[in-house]
Amino acid sequence: MTITAPITAPAPTSNAVGLRTAVQIMERWNATQDDMARILRVSRSSINRAKSKLEAITLDDDQLDRISYVLNIHAALRTLFDNPENVTGFMTMKNHNEFFNGRTPLEVIVNGGYVGLYETHRRIDALRGGMW
């Protein structure tokens, strides 16, 4: 007698889970799907596939790095702030330090390419000081 497993939808890969998590974080930052696609350098259809939780998604190293920066920005904000509104709202608050020049961190990561994402992460991470 042969026992076969039931046919189920394929499990999502870690790429899809990482992308879905980054999208969920950016939704809390009030980023649009176009913003998310630009920040992560993925298509809107990839974002929708990741949200569906069913499909595997192939991402390149650059895209994975971008996802990592978003996750790490969120982790740094969670370390910095006890207040959930600040954790999610910080990215849309105008920042007047020299790097941001009155722009929001979200504006910088949407319009600044990889360098803007990296520098925003670096500066937010530096705010933690020795908190890790």
The model's pTM:
0.86
Would you give the DSSP letter of residue 60?
-
pLDDT tens-place string over residues 68-110: 999 999 999 999 999 999 999 999 999 998 899 999 999 999 9
**How far, in Å, CA of 24 to CA of 51, rounded?**
9
Contact predicate 118/48, CB 8 Å = no
Token couple for 75: 């982790």
Contact predicate 95/87, CB 8 Å = no
pLDDT tens-place string over residues 113-123: 999 999 999 99
Token couple for 67: 């996802």
